[in-house]
Amino acid sequence: MAKRIQFSAHGGPEVLEYVDFTPREPAVGEIQIENRAVGINFIDTYVRSGLYPVQAFPSGLGTEAAGAWATISYRSENIAQRVLELTDGQKVPVVYDSVGKDTWEASLDSLQRRGLMVSFGNASGPVTGVNLGILNQKGSLYVTRPSLFGYVTNRAELDKASSELFSLIASGAIKVDVSANQIFGLSEAQKAHRALESRQTYGSCLLIPGR
């Protein structure tokens, strides 16, 4: 019998259920696969909590991907100062910020003139009350708030994005190294979500079926 994680109401990690599941038979042109590892991402907590509501219950979860060449603890380090040190005073052309409220200005301060700020998460809370004039003051900066589903809206776009991603992984340009304490059994989904929301993790996390 297959297993899956589902939830029947929005809420905290406690709403996640580890249940038996019978996959439907594949239709013509489809195949059925067995997942040996499942990526989890902070966006899954948004879906579970109701920040991103689902269309119907019970519902499953799932979207994932990331990598880094250096890490900075925004809770204990000065982000902009560390970026200056890491880049020999040059700053960076693009910032990808999934933290939100707590790192908004520090991320802007890390950008080169006419740099791009990509805000794609709310781990510390959403960015609100933005004064657009600050973008001018900090160097004629650009800001965008994208989501995956604004870029992948059909099968052709999914195939293209997937091909580019897996090519980068195969070439070694993206390295997927997962810390042992960020690998959970599928039945430990509640524990994994609590770790994510307490911000005890960095990079990728995995759920392992059958573990």
Which tens digits make up the pLDDT trace of 63-120?
A: 554 555 566 888 888 999 999 998 889 999 999 998 899 999 999 999 999 999 999 8
Q: Judging by DSSP bridges, how do beta strands 111-119 and 92-97 pair with one another?
A: parallel
Q: How far apart are CA 75 and CA 120, in angstroms?
A: 19
pLDDT of residue 203: 76
pLDDT of residue 65: 45
Give the residue with greater pLDDT, 5 vs 53: 5
Question: Mean pLDDT in the chain?
Answer: 88
Classify residue 167 by its DSSP letter.
H
Quote the CATH superfamily of domain 79-144: NAD(P)-binding Rossmann-like Domain (3.40.50.720)
Cβ(23)–Cβ(1) below 8 Å: no
pLDDT of residue 69: 59
Domain ranges of the chain: 2-66+176-208, 79-144
pLDDT of residue 33: 78
Cβ(144)–Cβ(119) below 8 Å: yes
What's the CATH number for 2-66+176-208? 3.90.180.10
62 pLDDT more than 80: no
Of 61, 41, 24, give the one whose Cα is nearest residue 206.
Answer: 41
Q: What is the pTM of this model?
A: 0.57
The helix (H) or strand (E) run that includes residue 114 is strand 111-119
pLDDT of residue 75: 83
- One-letter amino acid of 107: S
Which tens digits make up the pLDDT trace of 119-129?
A: 988 888 889 98
Q: How far apart are CA 163 and CA 152, in angstroms?
A: 13
| In the chain, % of residues over pLDDT 90 | 50
pLDDT of residue 200: 81
Matching residue, tokens 């996390």: 205
pLDDT bracket for residue 132 (50, 70, 90)? very high
Q: How far apart are CA 62 and CA 60, in angstroms?
A: 7
pLDDT of residue 122: 85
Tokens coding 119:
């805000």
Of 85, 109, 86, give the one whose Cα is nearest residue 97.
Answer: 109
